[in-house]
Amino acid sequence: MKTQRLFIAGLALAALSTLNLKFSTVHAATTTIDSVNRYAYGANVGWMNWTGDTANGVVIGEYVCSGYIYSANVGWINLGSGSPANGIQYQNNSATDFGVNQDGLGNLRGYAYGANTGWINFETTGAPRINMITGQMSGYVWSANCGWISLSNAVAYVKTDVIQKGALAPDGLPIAWLLTYFGTTNVNANADPTGKGMTIAQDYLAGTDPNNINSVFRITAESFSSGGTSATLTWNSVPTRYYTIQKTPGLSSPDWVDSGLGLVSPSAGSTTTAGFTETTAPMQFYRVEAVRPLISVLQTPGLPNLTITFVGPNSVVVSWPNTGSYTLQQNSNLTTPVGWTTSGYSMTTANGTNSITITPPTGNLFFRLANP
């Protein structure tokens, strides 16, 4: 399954301006909440199941949340319709335009509503948020009628497996993102309105502003020790993306592998710098990859969901329900359909879920479930 990534490349002697775009689409899910880690807890309401009845569970989106939480003691709680009035985020100013927003950094803010609980406030004091690498939630939400509700504790926590893009325009870009920057969905994803060398689609993947000529994703500085035993790169970064540095000894048939740093969190400013040790090589090429937090995957309706999740700075887990006779297959190049082979990674099964762990994830890998 494709991940959402954008690459910039650099050479040991000079920065290159090559951009490699990878884009994918995502179908609407009945819930994005993990089937195991799904419970919040309130002293006055008991356990609250964020998967609901699985057909109407909570969906964590790139801009808004939607769906329902279920509690045996207080019934259903609505996090929003998924269709804010302005097409971007809930304004929480009426009974028809309320819900919980997600700010791109993982912070959850806004209002949920239950007939037996009244309004539930996702606010700054309780600081409810999502870890954008692992998907685990933390913090508290407040109900005037029910008190504090914890999203994580020593016994259980709520986790989302993915961040869903939400409704897409015909060009494959999220409608909410297009409305934010252009006020319309009538946009050519391959256009470069500022002439800065990035298409609108590349701006989305990189998290940069398509209307700002100075908002770019580029390597801005590099330094290398004598003999190439260490390297340091600096690049433009934004707080809503994570990054990896990849390397290859040549560009004729490049085999890009991780530098060993794994996933790099963005620095507080407008650039990020990372260094790493290297083995001696006559020449080495480098590129920086921008990664949308919590990888999205392409799902086929009616078939088991295949999920890809970051579980640490240098590992990802590919998981799927242990149902039927499905086999995990992988491919390194989607232009060669005959390249699909049974995955060689060691599989574990627990709590009705099959999974493989890849440490570190290197190069390009695509996954699918096959049922012979």
SS3 338: helix
Once rounded to an integer, what is the mean pLDDT over residues 10-29? Answer: 34
45 contacts 69 by C-beta, under 8 angstroms: no
Predicted local distance difference test score (pLDDT) of residue 369: 85
pLDDT tens digits for range 110-135: 999 999 999 999 999 999 999 998 89
Give percent helix, percent strand, percent coil of the chain, each to the nearest 5. Answer: 5, 40, 55
How far apart are alpha carbons 364 and 254 in whole angstroms? 11
User: Which contacts qualify for 135-141: CB closer than 8 Å, 24 or more apart?
Assistant: 135/34, 135/159, 135/160, 135/161, 135/162, 135/294, 135/309, 136/37, 137/40, 137/108, 139/108, 141/40, 141/112
Residue 260 sits at the vertex; the CA angle it makes with 254 and 261, to the nearest 5 degrees, is 120
The more confident residue out of 254 and 178 is 178
pLDDT, mean over the chain: 84
In degrees rounded to 5, what are phi and psi of residue 179? -65, -35
The more confident residue out of 283 and 152 is 152
Predicted local distance difference test score (pLDDT) of residue 324: 76
The more confident residue out of 65 and 21 is 65
113 contacts: CB under 8 Å, gap ≥ 6: 77, 78, 98, 119, 120
pTM for this prediction:
0.76
Predicted local distance difference test score (pLDDT) of residue 297: 52
